Amino acid sequence: MRLFLRCFSALRGDGGGGVFLGVHEILERIKNEASAERERILRDAEEQAKQILEETKAYLEKRRLAVKMREEKRGEEEKMRIIRSARLEARRIKWSAEQEITNEVFENAKKRIREAKKNGFRGKSYDEILAGLVKEAAISILSPEHEMNAREDLEVLVSDEDANFISQSLLNKISDEISREKGVKIRLSLSKERINASGGVIVRRKDGKVEVNNTFEKRMERFMPILREKVARILLK
């Protein structure tokens, strides 16, 4: 439309004279303008296409950087998580080693009880060891308010195996010692009842109201926190 108007106005301006020359010029001009328009349209399109591709490239580069940053952050977090878990695992390995050797100590200590029954321990025979445990249990049964000269009848319970190590004369000796040391009358007797334990004794009042369990299992259980600490200190020194 624009080209047509231009041509028309050119014809009108010519005033009728020299029409043929004018026509050639007009035709030339139309061709030139069409050509120029064609070039402009294509140049614009090329420019637009170039811009589309450049913008896309820039956008993709930006997105690539964002992906890189996001993945590096995610990767770093995952790395930290793996390392944290590895540190925990490393601590668990060391802790397991400590537990393993500590448990070994307790297992071997249990085995050594059997040996102590045969050969004694630190120069003491097994019956002397049992006597010590009976004495300790009996004294702890006596209340501070125990009436002087009142007699306390206590019975001693042992396993079948340990019954061979305790005699009434030994219990009398212990009773005498306690009576002498604590100023109380005490009578210890061996119960016919047998207990299931690897060793040690239970001492209880005849009326059954109070008892002290000094079997090795119970002592192990009672002193376990102290023992674990002690064993760890010795093992890791």
Partner 1 sequence: MASEVAEALKQIRACEEEARRIVSEAREHAAKIVRDAEEEAERMKKRAREEERRLAEEIFQRFVREAEEEKERFLASARKDAEALKERARRNEEEAIEAVLEVLFGFKR
List the one residue from 58, 143, 150, 230 that touches partner 1 (CB under 8 A): 230
The smaller minimum CB distance to partner 1, of residues 147 and 181, is found at 181
Is 78 a residue that touches partner 1 (CB under 8 A)? yes
CA 66, CA 86: separation in Å to the nearest integer? 30
Site residues (CB under 8 A) for partner 1, limited to 13-52: 19-20, 22-23, 26-27, 30-31, 33-35, 37-38, 41-42, 44-46, 48-50, 52
Enter the tokens of residue 33. 């303008």
User: Hey, is 96 helix, strand or coil?
Assistant: helix
Is 116 a residue that touches partner 1 (CB under 8 A)? yes
CA 233, CA 231: separation in Å to the nearest integer? 5
The smaller minimum CB distance to partner 1, of residues 76 and 147, is found at 76
Is 83 a residue that touches partner 1 (CB under 8 A)? yes
Residue 196 burial class via C-beta count within 10 angstroms: exposed 0-12, middle 13-18, buried 19 and up: exposed
Site residues (CB under 8 A) for partner 1, limited to 170-229: 200, 214, 216, 219-220, 223, 226-227
The smaller minimum CB distance to partner 1, of residues 62 and 151, is found at 62
* 201 in Cβ contact with 130 (< 8 Å): yes
Stretch that binds partner 1, among 121-129, 143-151, 167-175, 182-190 (CB under 8 A): 121-129
The smaller minimum CB distance to partner 1, of residues 133 and 156, is found at 133
Tell me phi and psi for residue 86, to 5 degrees: -65, -40
Nearest approach, Cβ of 149 to partner 1 (angstroms)?
A: 28
Nearest approach, Cβ of 150 to partner 1 (angstroms)?
A: 26
Enter the tokens of residue 208. 């059954």
The smaller minimum CB distance to partner 1, of residues 97 and 153, is found at 97
- Sheet order of strands, 185-194 included: 185-194, 151-158, 200-205, 211-215
Nearest approach, Cβ of 50 to partner 1 (angstroms)?
A: 8
Is 97 a residue that touches partner 1 (CB under 8 A)? yes
The count of other CB atoms within 10 Å of the CB of residue 152 is 22
Is 58 a residue that touches partner 1 (CB under 8 A)? no
Return the CA Rg of the chain.
Answer: 53
Nearest approach, Cβ of 156 to partner 1 (angstroms)?
A: 14
CA 167, CA 190: separation in Å to the nearest integer? 8
Q: Which amino acid belongs to residue 161?
A: E
| Angle at the Cα of 8 from the Cα atoms of 2 and 10, rounded to 5 degrees | 105
The smaller minimum CB distance to partner 1, of residues 185 and 218, is found at 218
The smaller minimum CB distance to partner 1, of residues 82 and 206, is found at 82
